[in-house]
Amino acid sequence: MEQVNVESSAYARIAGLLLRFQRLFFQVKDEFIYGGYLTSLGCPAFVLSVSLLLGLAVDWPVLLIAYLVPLVVYSYNYYEELEKDVATNPERSGHLGKKVKLYPVLFGVYMSLLILLLLLFANYVFTIFVLILLSCGILYTIVFKDLTKQIPGFKGVYIAAVWALAGAFLFNFHYSVTWGVFSVLMFSFIFLRGIINVTFFDIKDVESDSARGLKTLPVLLGREKTLKFLNVLNIFSFIPLILGVYFNIIPAFGLSLLVFYFYDLYYLRKARVVNDKNLRMISYTLADAEFIIWPVVLLLGRALIGF
């Protein structure tokens, strides 16, 4: 009888440990997804993709700076928009609300680390460019978001343009690479893919954006017409990439990124039939993960195509 009690106690301890591990896992997962960490990986992925297409190495401080810039911007935006997100982003607002008092501290840590990296590793021109990107990102929340009330679709164009500037030119500014047609094509490609991403995200916010008078494309067109528009844009967004390869400006393995036509096609079709909760999850995972996978696909493409 005593042995049975000992075994039961051991099983109970193991079960307790597994339960605590499970809770910790889901807490880390929610923080990674809703805390802006996953989304912020897109910018260094752009920089790494540009370096692969140029055939030039990129240093880790540049990638870390490229990661911290959007992390600072998103942290500020999430903090300022927390109360407004309760209705349309309950999972994110519920998670972030638990650490709302820590947000000023986290924001300070991110900013301090970014400034330190700029002082240690960045040149003057690169630093100015990073500060401009930061200002553009934060000023959107403070000032420019209201322009979406007057200018239809302004939000998607503005945000996509800022991150396309970061993705296409951070490498150039740090390594003093001469601007050329390659940079223009990469900016155009990232910009068009970014509009798909931002507009898709806006679908889940239709009710709140409409109530606030924001003229995003989903508010103006509705879900069905917005998804049709994004399907068309999903095709045309690859034109800069194809032109670059055709004129030998972008290496042939860059065409490996065409697989993301099918990637976006999958989640755009899925968005037609899912409920609001699953739509938000698709936005935070599948849509955001696309850009992170770019360098992996390019490496595979380079290995298979060889030029």
Question: Which of 295, 56, 42 has its CA nearest to residue 171?
Answer: 56
Q: Quick one: pLDDT at residue 132?
A: 94
Q: Quick one: pLDDT at residue 227?
A: 92
Q: Quick one: pLDDT at residue 214?
A: 80
Cα 207–Cα 158–Cα 241 angle in degrees, nearest 5: 115
Q: Quick one: pLDDT at residue 84?
A: 61
Helix (H) / strand (E) element for 28: namely helix 2-34
Q: Quick one: pLDDT at residue 1?
A: 52
> Amino acid identity of 116?
L
C-alpha dihedral sign at 94, 98, 104, 109: negative
Q: Quick one: pLDDT at residue 99?
A: 66
Question: What domains are defined for the chain?
Answer: 39-305 (1.10.600)
Is 258 exposed, middle or buried (CB count within 10 Å of its CB: 0-12, 13-18, 19+)?
middle
Rounded CA gap, 21 and 26, in Å? 9
Rounded CA gap, 67 and 202, in Å? 23
- In angstroms, what CA-CA distances link 276 with 28, 97, 211, 273? 23, 20, 17, 10
**Per-residue confidence of the chain (307 residues) as pLDDT tens digits?**
555 454 556 556 666 666 676 666 656 666 666 667 778 889 999 999 999 999 999 999 999 999 999 989 888 776 666 556 555 666 555 556 566 677 778 888 989 999 999 999 989 999 999 999 999 988 887 877 778 788 888 888 999 999 999 999 998 888 877 778 999 999 999 999 999 998 988 887 777 777 778 888 888 888 899 999 999 999 999 999 999 999 999 999 999 999 999 999 988 888 887 776 666 667 667 788 899 999 999 999 999 876 6
Rounded CA gap, 264 and 235, in Å? 10
Q: Quick one: pLDDT at residue 236?
A: 96
How many of the other CB atoms lie within 10 Å of CB of 116? 10
